[in-house]
Amino acid sequence: AQKITQTQPGMFVQEKEAVTLDCTYDTSDQSYGLFWYKQPSSGEMIFLIYQGSYDEQNATEGRYSLNFQKARKSANLVISASQLGDSAMYFCAMRETFQETSGSRLTFGEGTQLTVNP
Amino acid sequence: DSGVTQTPKHLITATGQRVTLRCSPRSGDLSVYWYQQSLDQGLQFLIQYYNGEERAKGNILERFSAQQFPDLHSELNLSSLELGDSALYFCASSVRTGEYNEQFFGPGTRLTVL
């Protein structure tokens, strides 16, 4: 079974600085996908960025980038130039695909609560 | 706005009751997923439908059932509700099943069982 580990329950960063949120994963699949979501206090889940297991380059989306180290099984999220609005819970997730049915699901880590200080 | 809609936004009910949560996927998305988020269990996958067919099942209780209709909207039915079923229930959608690079979530339905 797949497992996602986020070891930082809480992180603090100063406004305008960069921050790295850690994510490690465990899977025996060759093909998988890694996702990051943001959940503000309002509760919605906002898709941020995706990295495929065969992608050779690290994914980037605006101020978000994913530091993908396949051999270490890590997929850390880097947020550059933090803003007050970045304060939220961040979840790392892995896509698992079931060959028999072509079904799939996301398995989530426990999340990291990021606080951006002015 | 992700394009995934869920109704109702909030639901308060009593133990033993039955409720139905509704989800409409993004336009063009054929795959619908249901997740439960609770304080003690975190975010857990419940079930997936693709174009009307069940494709994957997670830790979904027997008291819970779901379906996806021909117009692709989906409903999650929760029956014989218990206090522990109180949670935020998310619906998500993707264009296809299997391998995809985007899965968008709806705003969630917050269920409170008293």
Interface test with B, best of A27, A46, A105, A107 (most B CBs within 10 A): A105
B42: left (phi over 0), alpha (psi -120 to 50) or beta: left
Q: Do B103 and A43 touch (CB under 8 A)?
A: no
Average pLDDT on A38-56 reads 95
Taking a C-beta distance cutoff of 8 angstroms, is the pair A97, A103 a contact?
A: yes
Average pLDDT on B76-98 reads 95
CA distance A29 to B77: 32
Instruction: Give the number of A-B residue pairs with CB atoms closer than 8 Å.
Output: 75
CA distance B106 to B104: 7
The pLDDT, as a whole number, for residue B35 is 98
The pLDDT, as a whole number, for residue B100 is 83
The pLDDT, as a whole number, for residue A90 is 98
A52 pLDDT band, cuts 50/70/90, is very high
When CB atoms are compared, the residue of A33, A108, A111 closest to B99 is A33
Neighbours of A42 (CB within 10 A): 9
> Does B14 or B102 have the greater pLDDT score?
B14
The pLDDT, as a whole number, for residue B98 is 81
CA distance A94 to A35: 6
The pLDDT, as a whole number, for residue B59 is 86
Q: Do A106 and B45 touch (CB under 8 A)?
A: yes
CA distance A9 to A36: 15
Taking a C-beta distance cutoff of 8 angstroms, is the pair B97, B30 a contact?
A: yes
What DSSP state is assigned to residue A85?
A: G
**Which residue of chain A comes nearest to B33, CA vs CA?**
A105
pLDDT digit string (tens) for B25-59? Answer: 999 999 999 999 998 889 999 999 999 999 999 98
The pLDDT, as a whole number, for residue A1 is 75
What DSSP state is assigned to residue A27?
A: -
The pLDDT, as a whole number, for residue B2 is 87
The pLDDT, as a whole number, for residue A58 is 96
pLDDT digit string (tens) for A70-109? Answer: 999 999 999 999 999 999 999 999 999 998 999 999 999 9
The pLDDT, as a whole number, for residue A2 is 85
When CB atoms are compared, the residue of B42, B48, B105 closest to A105 is B48
